[in-house]
Amino acid sequence: MSRTELESVLQNKLANNEKLFIPYIMAGDGGLDALKEQISFLESCGVSAIELGIPFSDPVADGPVIQDAGLRSLETGTTLKGVLDTLKTFIHERNVPIILMTYINPIFNYGIEAFAKDCKASGVSGVIIPDVPYEEEEFLLNPLNSHDIAFIRLAALTSTKERLEKIAKQSEGFLYAVSVTGTTGKRAEHQDRVYKYLSDLKEQSKVPVLAGFGISNAAQAHKMNESCDGVIVGSTIVDLLHQQKYDEIKTFIQASLKYENPQLK
């Protein structure tokens, strides 16, 4: 599924007054043989897309739950090429957009052009690369654009208003709004300024705005949904998947999606 198709899927859901829910899972946590079943299960839960993490030895954006999942995945021998090859084997058996979350070193090692080409061949719709800042992204854009792969940018609470405006205007696929200062993981609550930050990004962005980091229950998802288009949930999904608590995952996702816009009541 291409960047164009990803954006169409998300916009169609929003046009139907649906909120977006994107779970994050670590590729290879449980072995790459389990990846097809994991993606199929999440698709059956009604998710909007799936963010698929690539294990890396120095994951600067990840909290302890996702770090542990990455270590488990690395122990099984998971590589970026292995993930892309596995995705390619069932490209015609899924209808949910796949977003890769990786760091720049594995892409450099792979070769940027080869990476973009193989993402396309494996049905990847977009990529998130948290250690490539907005000011240094230019070298990635042509290879990704030539294969219709979205480069999904992250916005941070600590950025200036001017920088956020630039990021929002350049965004593709969706804009990943980081809702905490720190790494991934559960938070008891979010700072009040998060909601204005999300609303401001939504006004500026030409693509949907999704809040991520620190969202671990449906109540938090609903609160975020009042100010943006949906949420991205990682640590809770990764933890429940590791424990094989599929019913709890399905309940969490479906409860998070039961959002009613008060303006439409």
Question: For 5, how many CA atoms within 13 A lie in the half-sphere containing its CB?
Answer: 16
C-alpha to C-alpha distance for 123 and 129, rounded to whole angstroms: 18
Count the neighbouring beta carbons within 10 Å of the beta carbon of residue 55. Answer: 26
- The answer to whether residue 136 is catalytic is no
| Catalytic, out of 62, 148, 200, 239 | 62
Structural tokens at position 143:
């290879």
Q: What is the DSSP string of 207-265?
A: S-EEEESS--SHHHHHHHHTTSSEEEE-HHHHHHHHTT-HHHHHHHHHHHH----GGG-
Q: Is residue 81 classed as helix, strand or coil in its secondary structure? A: helix
Count the neighbouring beta carbons within 10 Å of the beta carbon of residue 258. Answer: 10
Total length of the chain:
265
For the chain, helix (H) and strand (E) counts, in that order, are: 12, 9
The closest alpha carbon to 32, from 68, 65, 79, belongs to: 79
- The answer to whether residue 51 is catalytic is yes
Q: Strand pairing partners for 124? A: 98
| Catalytic, out of 7, 18, 43, 51 | 51
Residues designated as active site: 51, 62
